[in-house]
Chains A and B, each alone.
Chain A
């Protein structure tokens, strides 16, 4: 018996195979979970409709499979066989539409000549009156809908529907060359790929690079960390200070803490300074959000960032902990890179990349001095922000990072 992927999610098209829960040759009971899949909405275990033995597994973990595709074959002994979902073929296509998808023959998508042609009732009537078979008409309306104009053109002998395309081959990994290894994008990686592509496609991004002298901040941090150490508390990295400096600067430049609603051409300013922290996790980049980062005492801010980063690495972030971001910071410098050019987290409008911090020889009052320098970059959405505003934001950020007294004046 063939076990097919059903539409278990109210109109889903495909699902990703997460895990096999049975091996070929395994004896399975009715309702025993066979395979775990992930759809847009849920992660679900699919239970066996039959008692029997797993003959063949036809898909692999990581495959994206279409509704109706056969997942595995199960050998049943006739007597124990429950009523098979595909034992009955639907009598008509209309009935099939109301049937669970498992009953529908595998993935062949409808071709123009076979499937239902889209057309308004008035157009259908016109076609009937003109004696035209709608299936032969090339539709030019939305989603290939046949319009009265198409009927007129057809009647004048201009446009015919093209020959139906050959049925699409089932999606599977293309063969790899001898020196290649192919693997599918899975889970979080797929989500990242999709989000990055959207951000890159939709946002005209420009960048601003600069550095700041954080020698005084470094000294202050050293003193504070000595206190924290004496208390037995976790030390502070530079990141919470940078978050505070960003919050202070954003208050003067609120259009950077916003999202762009391209459908309505509106900038939606955030009333809350929720700061996303790009976090390098084993499965891929995650961006937990520190809510109301401007209101947390520095020590708590440091703890919250630490907690969220740990939750990101362990994949235990709650949904609300990744939502509501107004501005994102990525601290790639902790790993490396003098400057980065981060991609904006769509639909936000700017992102700050913190680069390497190192002691450098700089000129101060005509003398060469050794100072601690932080390199940073800001990528911004040039649709809604211009370089001038970004430069002013960057100057404020610099000022707060370079002069901790000034930063503390702005902190609450």
Chain B
């Protein structure tokens, strides 16, 4: 007898794309953005491009620490954030900074975090967990936050974000499994940008798609064109509303491309060719959405330039505010983990301060 091994058929994972690279509508979806929302998407994506440039500049000037770049991934970030409700949990990484801002966290707060500052809590009505640099933790965190929402009887959904590289981590698989077993209101959003620092997607997984991993955990999965803001929005919206209605978690793979370096400490020319980048730059998500807006008569002459100018002045004002904030002091690191510090935290805090005083490193102007 021969065992009948089954493979998931590739045909089950077509790429959802509503708008072509040339800006033409290819299809419609029930959850697609309306006219107003399309303009919002465009505004946030243009902002994201400027934000990215300014943040890299600030890092090169020594004004903030290492920063991840988002150039080329604006559609995924904006489509994700705008499809969520403000109180839904956004649990992201350094690649979701634009999503955090579009979701309701202030620009100044994000800049402040990258200055090593203590910007104060996120707005109370915004569901957002701290930006986590550790790879893949967002997935179990989202599963837990979603379970919490379910137990509290809230109808908020938790969205956990990660990249293609994180899908090789145990956290990713544990999180998906847990979420599915407990049928929690979670959405898992993977930005597959082709590169995990210098490791290409082909070396990351032998699966045809990342989305098909959802099958193993008994949840639906979908591949969406991550440079098509309209499609990303529609797909996330559907997944979020499905989860909110009690139908359990889903996995979204947004296929995009990281045009810039992994972070300001990375030199991608050491591992990928300029031709590859140039080829992907042909499909600029901002240009694609603009072409759609133009075709549908929504775009007004000079709109992009105006939005860029607005973004620049918003950034300048936010930078000024963030840099005017007082410097963080060493004792503050003990104050922000627990609502009420535990006994051991209090002890550590006192010990650290006394050690630093002994070394003459605090209490001196």
Contact = CB atoms under 8 A, between A and B. Distances in A.
Interface of A: 3-10, 31, 41-49, 82-83, 85, 88, 90-95, 98-103, 116-117, 121, 124, 128, 318-319
Q: Top 8 A-B pairs ranked by shortest CB distance?
A: A6-B62, A102-B62, A100-B62, A98-B116, A42-B267, A83-B323, A47-B57, A94-B361
Contact of A31 (B57, B356, B364): B57
B345 interface: no
B327 A90 contact: yes
Given A83-B319, A83-B320, A8 B62 contact: yes
A45 B53 CA distance: 12
Given A91-B365, A124-B355, A8 B59 contact: yes
Contact of B266 (A41, A47, A318): A41
A102 B267 contact: no
Given A6-B60, A83-B324, 19 more contacts: A8-B62, A8-B265, A31-B57, A41-B265, A41-B267, A42-B264, A42-B267, A85-B62, A91-B365, A92-B363, A93-B361, A94-B356, A94-B362, A95-B329, A99-B327, A100-B63, A100-B65, A102-B62, A124-B355
B63 A102 contact: yes
Contact of A43 (B61, B267, B327, B362): B267
22 contacts: A8-B264, A9-B265, A10-B66, A31-B57, A41-B265, A41-B266, A42-B264, A43-B267, A46-B61, A85-B61, A85-B63, A91-B327, A92-B329, A92-B362, A93-B364, A98-B327, A98-B328, A100-B61, A116-B361, A117-B359, A121-B355, A319-B270
B327 A116 contact: no
B207 interface: no
Nearest to A117: B359
B64 to A, nearest CB: 7
Contact of B328 (A41, A95, A100, A117): A95
B121 interface: no
Nearest to A50: B61
Contacts of B154: none
Specify which of A3, A94, A95 lies most central, judged by the most chain B CB atoms within 10 Å of its CB. A94
Given A42-B267, A103-B62, A124 B364 contact: no
B242 interface: no
B269 to A, nearest CB: 8
Interface string B180-223: 00000000000000000000000000000000000000000000
B62 A82 contact: no
Nearest to A101: B62
A223 B291 CA distance: 62
B54 interface: yes
A5 B62 CA distance: 8
Contact of A46 (B60, B270, B273, B328): B60
A58 to B, nearest CB: 16
Contacts of A117: 359
Contacts of B115: 100
Nearest to A133: B358
B271 interface: yes
B316 interface: yes
A4 B62 contact: yes
A220 to B, nearest CB: 38
B20 interface: no
A92 B365 CA distance: 6
B65 A45 contact: no
Nearest to A11: B265
Contact of A42 (B54, B261, B327): B261
